Amino acid sequence: MHRRSTFPRFPFVAAALVGALLALTACTGEPDRNGVVVTGIVPAPAEFELADGSPFTLTDAARLVAVGGGARAVAETFAAPARAATGFPLPVVDGDAEASDDSTARSTDLELVVDADAALGNEGYTLVSGADGVRITASAPAGLFLGTQSLRQLLPAEIEHADATRSPDGGWLVPAVSIADEPRFAYRASLVDVARNFIAVDDVLDHLDRMALLKLNVLHLHLTDDQGWRLQIDAWPELTGVGASTSVGGGGGGFYTKDDYRRIVDYAAERFITVVPEIDLPGHTNAALSAYPELNCDGVAREPYEGVEVGFSSLCADPARAEATDRFLADVLSEVAELTPGPWIHVGGDEPLATEHDDFLDLVGRITTAAAATGKTVIAYHEMGASSELPPGTIGHYWDLTAAHEMAPNRRDEPVRPYPESAGQARSFLEQGGRLVLAPADTTYLDMMYPDRPAGPLGTELGTRWASTITLEEAYAWRPEETVEGLEESDILGVAASIWTETIETVPDFEFMVFPRIAAIAEVGWSPADARDEAGFRTRLVTLGAHLDALGVAYRKVGGVDWAE
Ligand code: TNX
């Protein structure tokens, strides 16, 4: 799976970074571009070297020379915001490496090459920049796109402004570098709960853009919960008619029409991000149970719910309700699958506290059968591992605490440990031919408070601490392979950073909790384990922070990082 051996690993990454930074200083006299030192890229590339040569300068003569299948679309995706930021025309031209005419890249150009023979994997790429131009090479369009996201971080942060009046004083310099990169894990998700509080389409698109910057490639949308149903389902219109009117705290609701959802999927696809839709079943279903009486065992619709409790709702396992429940499952999951080009459908399964164990096993069978019938690969929270009859290859999503979780003085007062059965439930997916997405709550739940300053930018009390408080350093120090005892690297499909929105109502609050900790999880998911280095990460965050500033992201300027003013 991982062909990291094709890249001779650079042994002393940290030392090289420091040395190369000095080299950059020496060769450009520009160690400090508009207040921002060039410090590298987040997540750290597998190999990153600042070269000896002069930097590349992007000018109005630059063209994007696209070579190979799919390169042109990637070039256009990169060019559109870059044109707005620079005011340069940045035409995309079809390149031909063999020719010696206008289709050959010049030293003022960016050359974007898809070469199936490059053996770089789906998401790997190389990037070489200097006075001779910039060349990004990948085996597939996804890797080429990810290479452009590295280039984005190598450019001055003004590249993020959609307004060319803010050009950097020193010019559009790209340091001379040589990068060979590929991800550690194939699945690197941002989980966003749009059910507890709704998040408008445009805000989701903004988030996708920032995910791309961090090389996250899965947007997991938690679309349904007790407090709201957020996706139009034609066969069951009251799911949104009734079920979308609520949210935590009573601030109103909202939902995505099918066209809204398609916009999200399309915008994500342009950035090589896969949308994983989650319909949380059989618990976390009060919104559905309030919309349709026939889904309740007693045939009485539930009251809408706007609180923050979990574990009180359940689909009905009673055979007397089987017709309605199974029709609901088949209709909902097939409509969701039809809207979703990606390979996965997530059926929840967490905290089934209001479902008798036998009923849970029965419902898990019916839910996962209906989900697998859509042709998608099923993903479920680890509790569904209680069943030994999952569709082969079902992916387990582990959210309980890390095995090594220990109480720290700043954590909540009562002892918190993983539930004893959680690890076995996670391993059950492996035994049934699946793999795991790891999202332990004490490390990757971005709705957990920062320990030192819980109040958000609006002065609100933000987040919870049921699993832990989480510092940037704690998020960064996470070792996925130690989340559950006995995991092999190959058992891990990937990682997710989750933002549950019980306490989060506004975009600034969302951004304050998500950034910069999501960057730590992105690096855990992307960078080789032995290239990780906390001090280097903090230094590279300075550059990332400048880009986030230019994007207007209200991230938390946590201590220990020398954030640019
Ligand atoms: C647990 S973990 C939940 C969510 C909450 C979250 C709050 C999991 C799959 N379920 O329902 O929103 O904690 O941190």
Question: Do 478 and 516 fall into the same domain?
Answer: yes
Residue of the CA atom closest to atom 9 of ligand 1: 350
Task: Evaluate whether residue 539 is within a structural domain.
Answer: no
**Ligand 1 neighbourhood includes 500 CB (under 6 angstroms):** yes
Question: Do 148 and 280 fall into the same domain?
Answer: no
C-alpha to C-alpha distance for 121 and 143, rounded to whole angstroms: 8
What beta strand segments (E) does 184-298 contain? 187-193, 218-222, 224-225, 228-229, 274-281
Taken as a whole, the chain contains a residue count of: 565
Atom of ligand 1 nearest to the CA of 500: 12
Q: How far is ligand 1, taken at its centre, from the CA of residue 110, in Å? A: 44
Question: Do 160 and 211 fall into the same domain?
Answer: no
The catalytic position among 270, 351, 473, 482 is 351
C-alpha to C-alpha distance for 167 and 549, rounded to whole angstroms: 15
| Boundary residue ending a domain (158, 181, 204) | 181
**Ligand 1 neighbourhood includes 501 CB (under 6 angstroms):** no
Residue of the CA atom closest to atom 4 of ligand 1: 500
Residue of the CA atom closest to atom 10 of ligand 1: 350
Task: Evaluate whether residue 81 is within a structural domain.
Answer: yes
Atom of ligand 1 nearest to the CA of 280: 9
Tokens of 363: 């419902």
If one counts every other C-beta atom within 10 angstroms of the C-beta of residue 382, the result is 29
Average pLDDT, consecutive stretches of 10 residues, N- to C-terminus, the chain (565 residues): 30 36 34 49 95 92 97 98 97 82 89 97 97 97 98 96 86 94 98 98 98 99 98 98 97 97 98 99 98 98 97 97 98 99 98 97 98 98 98 98 69 71 98 98 96 76 89 96 97 98 96 98 97 94 96 96 89
Task: Evaluate whether residue 10 is within a structural domain.
Answer: no
**Ligand 1 neighbourhood includes 445 CB (under 6 angstroms):** yes
pLDDT tens for each residue of 386-414 = 999 999 999 999 999 999 876 554 445 56
Task: Evaluate whether residue 558 is within a structural domain.
Answer: no
**Ligand 1 neighbourhood includes 398 CB (under 6 angstroms):** no
Residue 84 structural domain: 15-181
Residue of the CA atom closest to atom 11 of ligand 1: 310
| Boundary residue ending a domain (181, 199, 233) | 181
341 alpha carbon, distance to own chain's centre: 17
C-alpha to C-alpha distance for 494 and 273, rounded to whole angstroms: 14
Question: Do 69 and 198 fall into the same domain?
Answer: no
Q: Residue 31 sits in a domain of what CATH number?
A: 3.30.379.10
> What's residue 564's pLDDT?
87
Number of domains in the chain: 2
Kindly calculate the radius of gyration of the chain based on its CA atoms and give it in whole angstroms.
Answer: 24
Question: Do 353 and 318 fall into the same domain?
Answer: yes
Task: Evaluate whether residue 6 is within a structural domain.
Answer: no
Question: Do 103 and 237 fall into the same domain?
Answer: no
Burial of 285: CB neighbours in 10 Å, binned 0-12, 13-18, 19+: buried
Question: Do 308 and 427 fall into the same domain?
Answer: yes
Backbone angles phi, psi at 219, to 5 degrees: -105, 110
In a mutational test of the pocket of ligand 1, which residue from 248, 353, 444, 500 has the highest number of ligand atoms less than 8 Å from its CB? 500
Q: How far is ligand 1, taken at its centre, from the CA of residue 500, in Å? A: 7
Secondary structure (H, E, C), 93-160: EECCCCCCCCCCCCCCCEEEEECHHHCCCCCCEEEEEECCEEEEEECCHHHHHHHHHHHHHHCCHHHH
Full-model pTM: 0.93
**Ligand 1 neighbourhood includes 203 CB (under 6 angstroms):** no
Task: Evaluate whether residue 538 is within a structural domain.
Answer: no
> What's residue 12's pLDDT?
31
Question: Do 168 and 192 fall into the same domain?
Answer: no
C-alpha to C-alpha distance for 238 and 250, rounded to whole angstroms: 19
> What's residue 406's pLDDT?
67
Owner of token pair 């903004």: 206
Question: Do 102 and 167 fall into the same domain?
Answer: yes
> What's residue 443's pLDDT?
96
Question: Do 114 and 27 fall into the same domain?
Answer: yes
Atom of ligand 1 nearest to the CA of 381: 9
| Boundary residue ending a domain (135, 153, 181) | 181
Tokens of 123: 């998401």
Q: Residue 259 sits in a domain of what CATH number?
A: 3.20.20.80
**Ligand 1 neighbourhood includes 350 CB (under 6 angstroms):** yes
Question: Do 120 and 235 fall into the same domain?
Answer: no
Active site residue 351: yes
